């Protein structure tokens, strides 16, 4: 079976976006298509309408008709999948990579139309984690974190802050509140990915300079290598 659908998930700022960028840069011979979702959050400085997301208001997204869109809340924003776009993508591409939040990804995979369209596709679910369970437990033991959620939040918050600084954004109280929320949810999101077919531990988050090398070095490079192996098998 040569047709493949890859669901890619992981906590915010774990490195999913630079992974896709590195895949395009280092392996241009791998042809794939990524669906474009709707989101209610504002675009980041490097994002473009219709390429990264379709940017709409929460009210617009929540009003989308259920017979055409899968709509759901991811963290603090609303997102939607256009099923008509998915129908076209499935008919024209043999390799589809869909970066999607775990709960929305589950709704997508279980939707009757997706089940029908993906019947001829080999489906793999890939989850990127920022640390191993053993590392999280060790952090709790040695640094006194009260829960794995707190330990993982301590790992992720500096990555979020680093990404914001690289993008030239001010760390206003509102921005910091959002970053702290995203970091606090990371461990719960890791638990959502426990049943994924493939799990990759990547310590180089989205803010890591290791992604800037060609090919990437460190864990960024190892993550790209493992992801390519998944795509080609």
- Tens of pLDDT, residue by residue over 135-156, are 999 999 999 999 999 999 999 9
CA distance 217 to 107: 35
- Please state at what angle helix 16-26 crosses helix 218-232, rounded to 10 degrees: 70
In whole angstroms, what is the distance from residue 63 CA to residue 3 CA? Answer: 33
Q: Are 71 and 79 in contact (CB under 8 A)?
A: yes
State pLDDT tens for residues 8-52: 999 999 999 999 999 999 999 999 999 999 999 999 878 899 999
| Per-residue DSSP letter, 124 | E
| Kind of pairing between the strands at 38-39 and 77-82 | antiparallel
**SS3 label, residue 60:** helix
Q: For 4-35+87-232, CATH number?
A: 3.40.50.300
Instruction: Look up the pTM and report it.
Output: 0.94
Q: How confident is the model at residue 133 (pLDDT cuts 50, 70, 90)?
A: very high
Residue 186 has a CB neighbour count (10 Å cut-off) of 27
């Amino acid at each position: 079976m040569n047709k493949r659908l890859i669901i890619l998930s992981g906590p915010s700022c774990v490195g999913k976006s630079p992974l896709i960028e590195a895949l395009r840069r280092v392996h241009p011979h791998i042809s794939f298509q990524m669906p474009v979702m709707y989101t209610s959050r504002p675009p980041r400085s490097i994002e473009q309408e219709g390429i990264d997301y379709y940017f709409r208001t929460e009210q617009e997204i929540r009003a989308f008709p259920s017979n055409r869109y899968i709509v759901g809340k991811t963290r603090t924003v609303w997102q939607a999948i256009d099923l008509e776009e998915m129908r076209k993508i499935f008919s024209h591409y043999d390799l589809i990579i869909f970066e999607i939040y775990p709960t929305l990804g589950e709704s997508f995979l279980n939707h009757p139309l997706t089940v029908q369209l993906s019947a001829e596709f080999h489906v793999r679910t890939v989850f990127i984690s920022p640390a191993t369970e053993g590392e999280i437990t060790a952090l709790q033991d040695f640094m006194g974190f009260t829960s794995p959620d707190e330990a993982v939040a301590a790992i992720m918050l500096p990555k979020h802050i680093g990404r914001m600084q690289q993008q030239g954004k001010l760390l206003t109280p509102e921005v910091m509140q959002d970053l702290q929320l995203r970091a606090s949810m990371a461990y719960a999101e890791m638990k959502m990915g426990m049943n994924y077919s493939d799990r990759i531990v990547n310590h180089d988050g989205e803010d890591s300079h290791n992604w800037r090398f060609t090919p990437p070095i460190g864990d960024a490079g190892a993550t790209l290598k493992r992801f390519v192996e998944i795509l080609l098998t």
